[in-house]
Amino acid sequence: MNRFMDVLGAKIAPIAQKIGGNLYLTVLRDAFMLSFPLTMFGSFIVVFNNLPFWPDSLKAQFSTLFGNGQNATMSIMTVFVTLGIGYYFSKAKQVEAIFGAVVSLASFLILTPFFMTVLDGKKEIQASGLLSLDRLGAKGMFLGMIAAFLAAKLYVYFTQKGFVITMPDGVPPAVSKSFSALIPVLGTLLPFLIGNAIMVGVFNTNLHDVIYNIIQKPLTGLGTSLPGTIIAVFFVQFLWFFGLHGQVIVNSVFEPFWQTNGLDNAELLKKGNTALQEHGHIVTKSFMDTFTVSLGGSGSTLIVLILIMVVMTKKQYKEVARLAIAPGIFNVNEPVIFGLPMVMNATLFIPWILAPLVSVVIAYAGFASGLVPLTTGAQVPWTMPAIISGFLATNSIMGSVLQIVQMLAVGLIYLPFLLMIDKSKEV
């Protein structure tokens, strides 16, 4: 068994490292992290405005008074992601990053309709000069990512090919940089403007609707379905078993889907809790953080540490649990992953893979059955301890109850294997 694991690890590691080091996935990850502090602020506003013990009249008043905290952060997350993609891609290519950021945002906005349908009394009219929040948030996410990468690549191409205006010495640096960026920016924005003109003038549509209906909706549905979620969790665990940071690698692929669903849920909540429960999504960024990671880190190991301290007798295991329990409460579980260890431990391979899969199926079933309210779109920090995080993610005590049920299931799966290694003669 150990020989097989060694051979498999040798095959898997190079592939995982290549995925983890991919420039586009790295840039995308960093772009989402750029928006993290802002979306966290918006998340706190969502939680506060919709606490379950507020009466509906007070919720409506809070939404009027504090709603811009959400509108200016979570609801326009695509703006921050496009800025981040342009910035980090340009920085990686060693060109002026700030211009890469703004040209990526401008390219996305060129493709964005500046009109929307509004009610004039009982009649619907099309008003111009307006930007719809959903196009700057969940609905525009995939187009934003595509446009930002294409714009950043064009800007880098023109800059590195030397299509720049060089100013004489003595010109202030800010002025010199602006003139240097002039031709690359013009060369980048023009194709987007022509492309948008063709879509509007020839096909009478816009790329927002095309990308959303043809690419974003099908991919998001596939990536956030129960099978897609099981696949994501499996690879997180599988990669961690070989000492590779599964969370970072898998999240770089799946996070756009989870984030998009979370933004959808936040927008639905503005229309009321009924709209969220009827039309919302189960698998969101908050779902993945709260009902997988927030149970003690990858692998849901908090209950494992408790079991080690309660049922195992060997001193070395109890010592690992004693040292790992404090960070484990805050879902930092590298001490147990590498200290027990979980990594390359053939005896614990089955529960390490199986327990999180069973746990996420239980969580999905809890939401699908209606026993647990859907996540509100608020992003609860992954370091938030279990029980508290379940309540904050769902605005319901049932979120906390679900986490307890999940941890009990994980503990039952691990228990026989922990007893087995406790009775073994190996030190």
| Residues 255-291 pLDDT 10s | 889 999 999 999 899 888 889 999 999 999 999 999 9
pLDDT higher than 70, residue 4: no
Instruction: Give me the residue spans of the domains in the chain.
Output: 1-23+224-426, 74-223
- 333 and 410 in contact (C-beta within 8 Å)? no
- 180 and 174 in contact (C-beta within 8 Å)? no
SS3 86: helix
- Percent of the chain scored above 90 by pLDDT? 51
Q: Quick one: pLDDT band at residue 427, thresholds 50, 70, 90?
A: very low
Q: Quick one: pLDDT band at residue 161, thresholds 50, 70, 90?
A: very high
pLDDT higher than 60, residue 375: yes
Q: What is the pLDDT of residue 169?
A: 75
Of the two residues 158 and 120, the one the predictor is more confident about is 158
Token pair for 121: 């009394």
pLDDT higher than 60, residue 9: no
Q: Which amino acid is at 396?
A: S
State the chain's mean pLDDT as an integer.
88
Residue 96's φ and ψ, nearest 5 degrees, are -60, 110
| Residues 192-227 pLDDT 10s | 999 999 999 998 889 999 998 888 888 888 888 999
As a dihedral over the C-alpha atoms of residue 153, residue 154, residue 155, residue 159, rounded to 10 degrees, the angle is 100
Which residue blocks in 271-369 are alpha helix, DSSP H?
Answer: 273-279, 285-290, 302-311, 315-329, 334-339, 349-368
User: Can you tell me the distance from the alpha carbon of 188 to that of 103, in angstroms, rounded to the nearest whole number?
Assistant: 8
Q: Quick one: pLDDT band at residue 7, thresholds 50, 70, 90?
A: low
Give the pLDDT mean for 50-76. Answer: 87
Q: What is the pLDDT of residue 426?
A: 54
Q: Give the pTM.
A: 0.80
pLDDT higher than 80, residue 15: no
User: Can you tell me the distance from the alpha carbon of 300 to that of 291, in angstroms, rounded to the nearest whole number?
Assistant: 9
Q: Which amino acid is at 55?
A: P
- Percent of the chain scored above 70 by pLDDT? 93
pLDDT higher than 90, residue 368: yes
DSSP per-residue string spanning 231-268: HHHHHHHHHHHTTS-HHHHHHHHHHHHHHHHHHHHHHH
| Residues 122-134 pLDDT 10s | 676 777 888 888 8
